[in-house]
Amino acid sequence: MSSVNKSLLIPLAVFLVLVVTLGVGFSLKNPHILPSELIDRPFPEFVAAELHDPNRKVTREDLKGQVSMVNVWATWCPNCVIEHPELVRISREEGIPLYGVNYNDDVDKAQAWLRRYENPFVLNIVDDNGKLGIDLGVYGAPETFIVDAQGVIQYKHVGAVTRDIFETEMKPVIEQLRANQSVMRTAEAGS
Amino acid sequence: MTVPASSVVGLQGRLLKQVVGPDRHIVNSLIARLLLTIVLSVSSISVLAAIDAYSFPDDNLRERYNSLIDELRCPQCLNTNLAGSDSMISKDLRREVHRLVLEGKSDDEVRDFMQQRYGDFILYKPQVKASTYVLWFGPVVLFFIAVAVMVKLLARRRDPSHKNVLTEVEQNRLDQLLSK
């Protein structure tokens, strides 16, 4: 049967191309995880109170100077409790400042929550109306950002931070940023 | 949502005309209760809808707000617009849309504001740009390919040289099969 009309195979080929395209397209990524638009953009401007010091006004200038992590959390967020021990560990062992954004929450509840679960944060930005959250493109807590020394967002993770995610995804980013920073410092010192 | 009181009474009166005898009072109170329940449930719907109701200086802004929350997608949900979602982020984003509309921002500026923060995901109607050309023009291209194929097939059908296209070998094979 070598004389099969080859043009008959075209629909089959088209169908296979469709199957492969759609198959790859739909399985590539979790549709719940949105790509962040904020990567490589400066941390949004904000002026907000500090959770434990309402008179203090925190701005994005407070985040600059060294590589840091910004964690968006809330007392109503179940995954925040799950990831909290890892945040505490990072704050103790990794030598990176952790800034909290207390998102759409109540100050009293948030303070009690941190007393109960331990406070890993250098400071906590009160975002009680979700305004900073919107500027950060947050659509559900917890979300964690890595911000470089110049205050530019370099990485975002949606969902709980686990030991595995920290080691495989976040730590390499942090180390890379620190390396860049020290290169820049030497360049400045040399000039 | 208001039901004119007179029509309620009128309806009740008309229903009552068909009921006579000692049962009349019981039926009367039952109908009254039923009508009261209907009126209350209807009025409570309007109260629920009013929880998120923002005020607008004019109807034009209200219409723009409504159409924007209708066409923007809730970032937390996979297939719900801002208008239809009860999630916290949708409430916050509706508030932002309201604020931006009142500040005099154009529809495109509101869309850009959302797109800069939440990406293309939030736009139910994606922008026309390099990464969405396939989405926008793919169907048109496919349509023209389909038309071209159809035209070619029809032309071939009309072309007399394509009739009786069996080769000699095929014809022999066919004859052989038919003679079995």
How does residue B50 score in pLDDT terms, banded at 50, 70 and 90?
very low
Interval A143-160: pLDDT, tens: 999 999 999 999 999 999
Distance CA A100, CA A104 (A): 12
Contact B117 A37 (CB under 8 A): yes
Distance CA B131, CA B34 (A): 58
The average pLDDT across A28-49 equals 83
How does residue B21 score in pLDDT terms, banded at 50, 70 and 90?
low
Mean pLDDT lowest among A88-97, B16-25, B40-49, B87-96: B40-49
At residue B164, the pLDDT reads 65
Identity of the residue in B88, B96, B117 whose CB atom sits nearest the CB atom of A137: B117
A135 touches chain B (CB under 8 A): yes
* Exposure on the CB side of residue B43, measured as CA atoms within 13 A: 10
At residue A3, the pLDDT reads 57
A68-107: burial string, b at 16+ Cβ within 10 Å, e else = bbbbbbbbebeebeebbebbbebbeeeebbbbbbbbbbee
- What does the DSSP 8-state code read for residue A148? -
Contact B170 A140 (CB under 8 A): no
Distance CA A46, CA A113 (A): 24
Percent of chain B with pLDDT over 70: 75
Structural contact between residues A125 and A148, judged by C-beta atoms closer than 8 angstroms:
no
Q: How many Å lie between the alpha carbon of B41 and the closest alpha carbon of chain A?
A: 32
At residue B131, the pLDDT reads 81
How high does pLDDT run on average in chain A?
90
* A168 vs A25 pLDDT, higher one: A168
Strands A98-103 and A68-73: parallel
Q: Tell me which chain B residue has its CA closest to the CA of residue A39.
A: B117
Output the pTM of the full model: 0.70
- Which residues of chain B have a CB within 8 Å of the CB of A136? 117
Complex ipTM: 0.79
The average pLDDT across A124-140 equals 91
Distance CA B74, CA B85 (A): 7
The average pLDDT across A65-84 equals 94
B165 touches chain A (CB under 8 A): no
How does residue B48 score in pLDDT terms, banded at 50, 70 and 90?
very low
- Which residues of chain B have a CB within 8 Å of the CB of A36? 119
How does residue B167 score in pLDDT terms, banded at 50, 70 and 90?
confident
Q: What burial class does residue B123 get, using C-beta atoms within 10 Å of its C-beta: 0-12 exposed, 13-18 middle, 19+ buried?
A: middle
